[in-house]
Chains A and B, each alone.
Chain A
Amino acid sequence: MSVDAATVLPLRQRFTQGLDAPICLTWELTYACNLACVHCLSSSGRRDPMELTPAEARRIVDELADMKVFYVNIGGGEPMLRPDFFDLVAYAVDHKVGVKFSTNGTRLTAERARRLAAMDYVDVQISIDGALASTNDAVRGEGSFAAARTAMDNLAAANFGQFKISVVVTRENVTQLDSFAAIAESYGAQLRLTRFRPSGRGVETWDALHPTADQQRMLYHWLLDRPDVLTGDSFFHLSALGQPLDGLNLCGAGRVVCLIDPVGDVYACPFVIDKEFLAGNVRDEGGFARVWRQSDLFVSLREPQSAGACASCGSYDACQGGCMAAKFFTGLPLDGPDPECVFGHGEDALAARDPGARRGSAIGHSKVDRTGTPIPVPTPVRFRTPARA
């Protein structure tokens, strides 16, 4: 057996068959959010009354520590809105479960930045979706760019060290990649670009906001030139264009990653919050470990998958048919091309699909008015200091 780190393929095959524990996982702490971004993958807004209690959340950390999960990606909703946020982060770190958390920055005050700077094994990602306030606020809400920049200033002033600036690449902001890189550089921060999937509220906005085919090709070359820009492996569908992008280039859903949502439901990945991809709940007997190791859904995702309509394409090994979530929510067959297939097969499939094939988001926590109608998004916010820090 080769021990050379350059040969990824045998390992990739191993990973597609699943591991005893996830390599890392996403844990959305709350569906509560003070923003209402038009592309929110989890349709967040309202806190769910069944949200895990602080004691239940700590038990999940205990389990992850037992399974030797090295770190969790914490998100939401806005995770800093959870009253026990800092207690939980400290508890995880104390148990050798590192924390990377994503925040809109609105609650990242100077005092809280100093508190974060004093903790080991905590990484912070601040989300912006435009290098200009106008581009960003059109997606994330009026005032959200200024709030995020204030949070970055606070981290810098607290000498937090290298934080990350996280951007979902859209048709509108893909022309600003160099500006994003410049903002990151000005803070000594790392830039992280991720793919816009048609999940959550993104179901409604994907058609208008996902990058065009030309933009995707430009993005691919931009990324190849900048190996230091992080991508969370999310653009592996672009690897079909030639030289593979950095990373394992596979869909890890239910194999090496998964999502624990705020009520303890375990999904195959953060971008498929839908009954179809619900594997179980951490409150069930056997807890998270049993869901991970034995749920019917995850076991089936680890079996060999059919390449389907992609079988005859010479690039299938490179892109693996792309993203399951992107196919599911646009109503495409899971064993066919990604809607953003670089050879245009996805566009053909989108044009040929049945009317009504597209999935709505049945599980949503968008804010609603008194009649139960979702409030149009986005909503304005301001950076403010909470009463208790």
Chain B
Amino acid sequence: MSVTEERVPEAASGFDPSRAWRVHPQIALRDESFGALAYHFGTRRLMFLKSRLLVELVSALDQYESADAAIDAVVPEDERPVYRRALARLAASEVIDVR
């Protein structure tokens, strides 16, 4: 029986971490032990946030003036490049958008 009907898009270009971001208004997040499921009611895509820290970061975006500021506040220093790339991918698939 099917699990994912929609395809996950290719990553990422044009993500500007100096701007202010938020969870896309058409995204529903469901917490899971591995992170979260994200469903986009517009594109009908199901996506996976594959760590709890990524969920925390995404959920905190709207409290910071830039994505970089959110990353600095939430993510340990040595992991920041990884999470910046993850946000870029989430921006490309419209899990997050500029507010």
Contact = CB atoms under 8 A, between A and B. Distances in A.
B48 A271 contact: no
B98 to A, nearest CB: 21
B5 A232 contact: yes
Contact of B48 (A11, A71, A232): A11
Contacts of A120: 41
Contacts of A123: 44
Interface in B46-99: 46-51, 53-54, 82-83, 85-86, 89
A248 B3 contact: yes
Contact of B1 (A21, A192, A257): A257
B51 A257 contact: no
Contacts of A3: 49-51, 53-54, 82-83, 86
B84 to A, nearest CB: 11
B2 interface: yes
A231 B1 CA distance: 10
B21 to A, nearest CB: 16
B44 A98 contact: yes
Interface in A11-31: 11, 14-15, 19-21, 23-24, 26
A98 B51 contact: no
A170 interface: no
B50 A68 contact: no
* Count class of interface residues, chain B: 20 to 34
Most buried by A among B1, B51, B82, B89: B1
A332 interface: no
A271 B46 contact: no
A34 B5 CA distance: 28
A222 interface: no
Given A4-B86, A11-B34, A270-B1, A227 B7 contact: yes
Given A68-B28, A232-B2, A252-B1, A246 B7 contact: yes
Contact of B46 (A14, A20, A70): A70
Contacts of A308: none
Nearest to A162: B44
A11 B51 CA distance: 10
A187 interface: no
A68 B82 CA distance: 29
A96 interface: yes
Contact of A5 (B37, B44, B83, B89): B89
A247 B28 contact: no
Contacts of B51: 1-3
Nearest to A69: B30
Given A3-B50, A250-B3, 17 more contacts: A3-B53, A3-B82, A3-B83, A4-B50, A14-B34, A23-B3, A23-B4, A23-B37, A70-B30, A70-B39, A192-B5, A231-B2, A232-B5, A233-B1, A234-B2, A256-B3, A269-B1
Closest 6 CB pairs of A and B: A232-B2, A70-B39, A269-B1, A68-B30, A3-B86, A233-B2
30 contacts: A1-B50, A3-B49, A3-B51, A3-B54, A3-B83, A5-B8, A10-B34, A11-B48, A14-B32, A23-B46, A24-B3, A26-B1, A70-B41, A70-B46, A71-B39, A227-B7, A228-B7, A232-B1, A233-B1, A233-B4, A234-B2, A246-B7, A247-B2, A247-B3, A247-B4, A248-B4, A250-B3, A252-B3, A256-B3, A270-B1
